[in-house]
């Protein structure tokens, strides 16, 4: 029978260091051979870090960045856990550039909050640096741009299931008195619109359920490598799937504008998005402004149960039940965040003055709508951009390209789960944003190391660094 040596708590540190020396971690070897953390830090970050204090720092900038990258690679949700591991391992302290003295958790928090703009700039610099690496790995997939909206859950009391249960219990008591009340609907209506600890976390329907999130748009390429993270917010409610689709459709253009403004030299051939991005404005923008082919399915939620209107040769809509009846022009609808649309109304709808007020009446024996106003059809000026795809939606090529879209969702899952963003107990907006950006920086840093080590069979697999 094999005998095992018992390790006592007193000599655990010594045993742990001996173990690391006998089998050097692949992580330390790879970084030692293929990457110096100093080379990925912008000069402006150095200037800001060392000039803001007015004296020498106790811990170097590269040491702080190395420790935060190590935390993401090891999937450690809390800084305290990272510091406990560093305290046990001299090898990892040397890797980060620390001596026996370590920063406290509050110093990491202040670092993230004070230098958030420089962390973001560091991320954008890495995006430019890794673009050529992505094309070297797979040129076709690197030509694809994919976007998806998500939310990072905040550590606030409103996200605790007990908060909703308390409201539901109260609603059930009221429902016993008033039988017509649905307790679940009443409890949901009592949920506050924003978290009390931080009003930037708003009630939204994201990731399949309700919660209080930092809404984020993540852009990747076809390899799943993050290209852009945008915290752009239109301040629209997203408390239902239908409203989320409206949010998605209206945020795509601002998000991509921000992306290409920061990276004007990057070009892509295809854009992949889910049905939430199905809007006329997005198609026109992608086709005309960015010379990209959109691969976006039609949104079935926006499909009306009413019979479809036909069109004359000159593009005027006709009555769904009588193609000889042209609909009447009724002006141009102009809405914020949308392209102008020409409005047509039912030819049998008339306006009458009743009791001093103008009302619409419908004089039709076979109406196609229950509205007294009559049927209304809006015709976007660039309608053909949506319906006439450069690649037909029923083609095999369109289907194969659209299958690549799920890589963006896997990249988001990697940020949340593999790098423990979902488990972090953060409710400060700046700290959470910095953590998200550091997770993306970790992915790009890992890609750089794996590419230089000629190990790019799975470019998203950060765990290859510690395998």
pLDDT tens profile 325-384: 888 777 777 776 566 677 888 887 777 777 777 777 777 877 787 777 778 877 765 556
- The pLDDT assigned to 239 comes to 44
- Mean pLDDT in the chain? 82
- The pLDDT assigned to 287 comes to 86
Q: What count of other Cβ atoms lies within 10 Å of the Cβ of residue 191? A: 15
Phi-psi region of 181 (alpha: psi -120 to 50; beta: other; left: phi over 0): beta
Q: What count of other Cβ atoms lies within 10 Å of the Cβ of residue 369? A: 17
- The pLDDT assigned to 23 comes to 47
- The pLDDT assigned to 68 comes to 93
CA-to-CA distance for 367 and 376, rounded, in angstroms?
A: 12
Provide φ and ψ at 228, rounded to 5°: -160, 145
* pLDDT at 54 > cutoff 80: no
- Average pLDDT (307-317) is 69
Q: What is the pLDDT of residues 192-227, one digit of tens each?
A: 988 888 888 888 877 677 888 888 899 999 999 999
CA-to-CA distance for 344 and 424, rounded, in angstroms?
A: 52
* pLDDT at 13 > cutoff 60: no
Percentage of residues in the chain having pLDDT higher than 90: 31
- The pLDDT assigned to 24 comes to 47
Report the Cα–Cα distance between both ends of the chain, in Å, rounded.
29
Q: Which residue has the tokens 């010379």?
A: 291
- The pLDDT assigned to 17 comes to 55
52 vs 384, more confident: 52
CA-to-CA distance for 448 and 225, rounded, in angstroms?
A: 11
Q: Which helix (H) or strand (E) holds 423?
A: none
Q: What is the pLDDT of residues 113-130, one digit of tens each?
A: 999 999 999 999 999 999
Tokens of 275: 């049905």
- The pLDDT assigned to 345 comes to 82
* pLDDT at 466 > cutoff 60: no
162 vs 305, more confident: 162
pLDDT band of 5, cuts 50, 70, 90:
low
Q: pTM (2 decimals)?
A: 0.76
**Under a CB-based contact definition with an 8 Å cutoff, are residues 155 and 421 in contact?**
no
* pLDDT at 100 > cutoff 90: no
Domains of the chain from N-terminus onward: 141-301+389-435 (3.30.420), 306-381 (no CATH)
Q: Which helix (H) or strand (E) holds 230?
A: strand 226-230
- The pLDDT assigned to 384 comes to 60
* pLDDT at 454 > cutoff 60: yes
- Average pLDDT (54-80) is 88
- Half-sphere exposure of residue 187, counting CA atoms within 13 Å on the CB side? 19
Collect all residues with Cβ–Cβ distance below 8 Å to 258 and sequence separation of at least 6: 228, 230, 232
Percentage of residues in the chain having pLDDT higher than 70: 82
CA-to-CA distance for 413 and 420, rounded, in angstroms?
A: 10
340-383-292 Cα angle (round to 5):
100
Q: Which residue has the tokens 């039912």?
A: 346
- The pLDDT assigned to 264 comes to 94
**Closest to 205 in 3D by CA, of 261, 275, 153, 256:** 153
Angle at which helix 116-137 crosses helix 43-51, to 10 degrees, equals 160
Tokens of 152: 């990072």
CA-to-CA distance for 122 and 62, rounded, in angstroms?
A: 12
- Of the segments 170-184, 368-382, 410-424, which one has the largest average pLDDT value? 170-184
Q: Which of 51-55, 64-68, 342-346 has the lowest mean pLDDT?
A: 51-55
- Average pLDDT (14-31) is 58
Provide φ and ψ at 68, rounded to 5°: -70, -35
* pLDDT at 20 > cutoff 50: no
410 vs 330, more confident: 410
DSSP annotation of 205: E
pLDDT band of 26, cuts 50, 70, 90:
low
- The pLDDT assigned to 340 comes to 65
Sign for the pseudo-dihedral over CA of 14, 15, 20, 23: positive
* pLDDT at 464 > cutoff 60: no
- The pLDDT assigned to 247 comes to 53
């Amino acid at each position: 029978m094999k005998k095992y040596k018992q390790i006592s708590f007193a000599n655990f540190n010594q045993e742990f260091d001996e173990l690391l020396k006998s089998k050097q971690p692949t992580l330390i070897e790879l970084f030692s051979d293929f990457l110096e953390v100093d080379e990925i830090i912008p000069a402006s970050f150095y200037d800001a870090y060392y000039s803001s204090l007015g004296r020498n720092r106790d811990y170097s900038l590269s040491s702080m960045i190395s420790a935060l990258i190590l935390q993401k690679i090891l999937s450690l949700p809390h800084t305290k856990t990272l510091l406990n591991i560093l305290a046990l391992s001299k090898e990892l302290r040397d890797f980060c550039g620390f001596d026996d003295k370590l920063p406290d958790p509050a110093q990491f928090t202040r670092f993230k909050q004070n230098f958030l703009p420089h962390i973001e700039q560091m991320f954008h610099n890495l995006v430019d640096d890794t673009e050529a690496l992505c094309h070297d790995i797979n040129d076709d997939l690197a030509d694809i741009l994919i976007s998806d909206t998500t939310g990072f859950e905040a550590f606030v009391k409103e996200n605790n299931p007990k908060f909703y249960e308390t409201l539901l219990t109260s609603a059930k008591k009221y429902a016993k008195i008033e039988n017509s009340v649905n307790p679940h609907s009443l409890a949901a209506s009592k949920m506050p619109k924003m978290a009390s600890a931080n009003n930037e976390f708003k009630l939204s329907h994201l990731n399949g359920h309700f919660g209080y999130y930092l809404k984020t748009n993540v852009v990747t390429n076809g390899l799943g490598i993050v290209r852009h993270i945008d915290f752009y917010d239109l301040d629209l409610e997203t408390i239902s799937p239908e409203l989320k689709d409206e949010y998605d459709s209206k945020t795509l253009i601002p998000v991509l504008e921000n992306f290409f403004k920061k990276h004007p030299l990057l070009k892509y051939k295809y854009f992949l998005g889910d049905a939430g991005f199905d809007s006329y404005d997005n198609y026109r923008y992608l086709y005309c402004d960015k010379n990209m082919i959109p691969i976006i399915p039609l949104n079935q939620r926006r499909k009306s149960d009413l019979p479809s209107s036909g069109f004359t040769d000159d593009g005027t809509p006709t009555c769904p039940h009588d193609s000889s009846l042209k609909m009447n022009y009724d002006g141009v609808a102009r809405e914020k965040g949308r392209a102008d649309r020409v409005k047509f109304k039912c030819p049998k709808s008339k306006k009458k003055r009743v009791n001093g007020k103008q009302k619409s009446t419908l004089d039709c024996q076979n109406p196609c709508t229950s509205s007294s106003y009559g049927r209304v059809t809006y015709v976007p000026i660039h309608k053909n951009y949506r319906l006439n795809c450069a690649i037909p939606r029923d083609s095999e090529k369109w289907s194969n390209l659209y299958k690549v879209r799920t890589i963006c969702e896997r990249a988001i899952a990697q940020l949340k789960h593999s790098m423990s963003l979902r488990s972090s107990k953060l409710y400060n907006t700046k700290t959470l944003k910095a953590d998200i950006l550091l997770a993306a920086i970790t992915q790009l840093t890992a890609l750089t190391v794996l590419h230089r080590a000629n190990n790019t069979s799975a470019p998203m697999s950060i765990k290859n660094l510690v395998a």
